[in-house]
Amino acid sequence: MTKTATLHRMVMEKHTCPHGLKAKALLERKGYKVEDRQLVDRAQIDARKAEMGVDKFPQAFIEGERIGGFDDLKRHFGQTVRDPNATTYRPVLMIFAVSFLIAMAISWRVDGVLLQGQVVPWFVATAMCFLGAQKLQDVDKFATMFLNYDLLAKRWIRYGYIYPFVETGAGVLMIAGLLHWLAVPAMLFIGTVGAVSVFKAVYIDRRELKCACVGGGSNVPLGFVSLTENLAMMALGLWGVTQLV
């Protein structure tokens, strides 16, 4: 017997609701024949809201029973709905994962092998570039969030605004193998200050904060991953010192 569902979604001239498209695709994947009722203008949308007693679209009905919007539909099928405000390490972990893949790609292109001694420095430097770019999207927002825990930024406000440029620049220089005399001290300095600041805030003061490592407004908790990021910069800086000697 064919399973049926009705979906009310916005399909206007200048806007097609993405959640409506996702809801339709989900219903079809679950084997439902979807009666697609498209709302094409604001008057029709407002009238349908009043009629159904809802405040948003899409609205899905299965066998005549209203399920609700896309998130409600996912819950109905037993799928997890992620809380957009929940703390998560995913952004920084994805940056680390892609950075490592890029480091291996560079190694393959340069030396024809995926893993070698240079992969780790390239990995850390690439991650620095990605993390710096995240911060550079909104330097003021990053600097404001950074003030919550960074010891130097609290004493010298401009440090929070300079930091993203130093991090990104040092990463680029380390990948290129240029100006080590400049990149290495910069990396060692920001890594050390960052590690001390994170350690104090998390493990001594026991504060529960969000990390500014992937830019201001992130939901990444300040903690072990943040400390690891700074320790990695310190380690790369120390490795760089051995190359200068």
pLDDT tens per residue, range 79-111: 988 877 777 788 888 999 999 999 999 999 998
Q: How far is CA 207 from CA 139, 150, 197, in A?
A: 24, 13, 12
**pLDDT score for 199:** 92
Q: Which of 156, 148, 170 is nearest to 226 (CA)?
A: 148
Q: How far apart are CA 143 and CA 81, in angstroms?
A: 31
* Residue 133 token pair: 């770019």
- Give residue-wise pLDDT tens across range 119-153: 988 999 999 999 999 999 999 999 999 999 999 99
**What confidence tier does 225 reach under pLDDT thresholds 50, 70, 90?**
confident
**pLDDT score for 129:** 94
The CATH class that applies to domain 3-76 reads: alpha beta
Strand order in the sheet with 65-68: 32-39, 3-10, 59-62, 65-68
Q: Range(s) for CATH 3.40.30.10 in the chain?
A: 3-76
Name the residue type at position 142.
F
- Give residue-wise pLDDT tens across range 156-183: 999 999 999 999 999 999 999 889 889 9
**pLDDT score for 1:** 65
Contact 184, 124 (CB under 8 A): no
Q: What 3-state class would DSSP assign to 219?
A: coil
Residues near 123 by beta carbon (within 8 Å), at least 6 away in sequence:
99, 100, 102, 103
